[in-house]
């Protein structure tokens, strides 16, 4: 009887302590080709190794001469092609950059930046909500909406 009691106490103790242990599987390798940020801006700072967006915003006027869609990527280890598609307020495609090679995948890059610029021409730019859609290796990675407002603002 004592032997069964000792076994019973031991089993209960093991069950109790085993429930106090938890496991979480971590990532073995960090993800590659991550999009760190996408911004709309008026200017680019090119004074250092990596470009930086300046005057980040989502509202532009006809007095602005361009809208820039800026992307920062990190942990790049394979080939990267980016594509920007710009749509007017009436949902018509007005600019398609086609695939632009950012990395050939021949070496690891901790970070990379890229941008596309849409020039605003006051004679043929419609006011309203515009859209820019961004693709990496022909896969959707994000979209940004922005407003073109009258110049009087």
Integer Cα distance of 116 and 67 in angstroms: 8
Task: Give the mean model confidence (pLDDT) for residues 132-147.
Answer: 95
Summarize the confidence of residues 37-58 as an average pLDDT: 92
Distance CA 129, CA 67 (A): 13
Strand partners, 149: 61
Q: What global pTM score does this model have?
A: 0.75
| pLDDT higher than 70, residue 127 | yes
Give the pLDDT mean for 7-32.
56
For domain 34-149, the CATH superfamily is Macroglobulin (MG2) domain (2.60.40.1930)
> What is the reported pLDDT for 153?
47
* Residues 42 and 117 sit within 8 Å (Cβ to Cβ): no
User: What is d(CA 103, CA 49) in angstroms, rounded to the nearest whole number?
Assistant: 15
**Cross-strand partners of 64:** none
């Amino acid at each position: 009887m004592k032997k069964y009691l000792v076994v019973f106490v031991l089993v209960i103790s093991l069950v109790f302590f085993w429930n106090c242990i938890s496991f979480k599987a971590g990532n073995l390798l960090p993800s590659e080709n991550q999009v760190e940020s996408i911004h709309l801006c008026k200017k680019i700072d090119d004074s250092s190794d990596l470009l930086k967006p300046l005057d980040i915003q989502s509202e532009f006027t006809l007095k602005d001469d361009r809208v820039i869609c800026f992307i920062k990527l990190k942990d790049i280890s394979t080939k990267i092609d980016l594509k920007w598609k710009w749509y007017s307020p009436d949902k018509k495609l007005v600019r398609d950059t086609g695939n632009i090679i950012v990395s050939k995948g021949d070496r690891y890059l901790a970070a990379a930046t890229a941008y596309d610029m849409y020039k605003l021409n006051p004679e043929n730019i419609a006011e309203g909500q515009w859209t820019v859609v961004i693709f990496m290796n022909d896969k959707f990675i994000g979209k940004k909406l922005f407003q073109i407002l009258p110049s009087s603002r």
